[in-house]
Amino acid sequence: MRWLIALSILLGLSFAKEITAFYNPNCGCCHKYFKKLEEKGYKVNRVEVSPEELFKKKDELGVPVDKRSCHTMIIRGRFVEGHVPSKGIEALLKDPSVRGVYSPHGTLSGWGMEEKEFFLIR
């Protein structure tokens, strides 16, 4: 019985780190950022979409127009916009009142790295 409980906990933890990323395959920084997340234990399910499909997905999720970036990710039904540091994703998951999190596109994003700042959106 204990092994069943342990397995349930492990499966729950792995599910918590699963992200679906919608992105334009022509963007070079996205691939590098996704790889960084995978190195930190996230499972990134990549979905290539056209720019039009990406805008539609952002609209469906309610991503504010002035916060949009080159890709949009979904974790547990909430959005992650831009090169959000992993601590920003964790902050999103800890607060049920938050709809999403974003990081402004900056110099680090262009190199496929995480930005240092993140902002929670309620």
**C-alpha span between 20 and 15 (Å, rounded):** 11
* 60-95 pLDDT, tens digit each: 999 999 999 989 999 999 999 999 999 999 999 999
In this structure, what token pair is assigned to residue 32? 């590098």
pTM (2 decimals)?
A: 0.84
Which residue type is seen at 47?
V
**C-alpha span between 117 and 107 (Å, rounded):** 12
Burial class (CB in 10 A: 0-12, 13-18, 19+), 62: exposed
Q: Quick one: DSSP state of residue 114?
A: P
For the chain, list the domains and their CATH numbers. 18-121 (3.40.30.10)
* 9-32 pLDDT, tens digit each: 444 455 559 999 999 988 888 889
Q: Quick one: DSSP state of residue 96?
A: T
